[in-house]
Amino acid sequence: MPFHSPETTYAFSFVAGALFVPETLAVARQLQAVRDWKLVAAAARSENLLRQRTDASTRRLLREIRYRLDELSPAELDFLVAADPRDQRLLLFVAVCRRYRFIREFTAEVLCRKVQATENQLYPGDIVCFIDDRATVSPEVEKLTDNSRAKVRQVILRILAESGLMDSTASRKLLRPMPSRPLAKLIAKTNSKQLRWLLLSEQEIRQITH
């Protein structure tokens, strides 16, 4: 069941990379075929599915990808494997939001509010201010070093760019790529409010899911 246990603390393992699109798709195809994570892990090592140089790096990356794929329902996993690239990236972003409270809240409280206010520019200070705000209430965020904060900012920008919600990490213009109706309906089966993470308005959500 996706999004089954939203964390009450902030986890930051997403800084290991960004959206991991080709790697996640390779694992998703294998998982769809065997439906057994032990067999997937064995194939990841024996076939070097993740194109890593060492077993240790393969295990770390596979663990991060599993965190995200575990947030998808069986139907969403099947959709992911067969979808077009735009929908694949948007669904992976939803999985990231489900998994990571920090990214989920940043999307809802910063990106969605900007879109509602018809603003399309994300500034470096927007992420800095969000981190500072969370640091006042969260020990996990407060303990982040300057280098870790910089890494969080960098990876969030990369995730947004790779998902298609931002044009590039350089200009940081917010985009609003519309998911297909089948994807929207699939996400809505879990919770239609999660479509807000794709920067859709309430009216757009109603239109695309009915």
Mean pLDDT over 34-53 rounds to 92
The predicted structure's pLDDT at residue 8: 66
According to DSSP, the residues that pair with 173 across neighbouring strands are: 121
User: Are 74 and 80 in contact, with CB atoms under 8 Å apart?
Assistant: no
The predicted structure's pLDDT at residue 9: 85
Q: Per the structure block, which two tokens stand in for 199?
A: 């920067």
The predicted structure's pLDDT at residue 88: 98
The domain limits of the chain are: 18-70, 84-210
Give which of 76, 74, 100 is closest to 87, Cα–Cα.
Answer: 76
pLDDT tens digits, 74-117: 999 999 999 999 999 999 999 999 999 999 999 999 999 999 99
Exposure b/e, 156-189, CB count within 10 A at least 16 = b? bbebbbbbbbbeebeebebeeeebeeebbebbbe
| Residue 1 clears pLDDT 60, i.e. is over it | no
The predicted structure's pLDDT at residue 64: 97
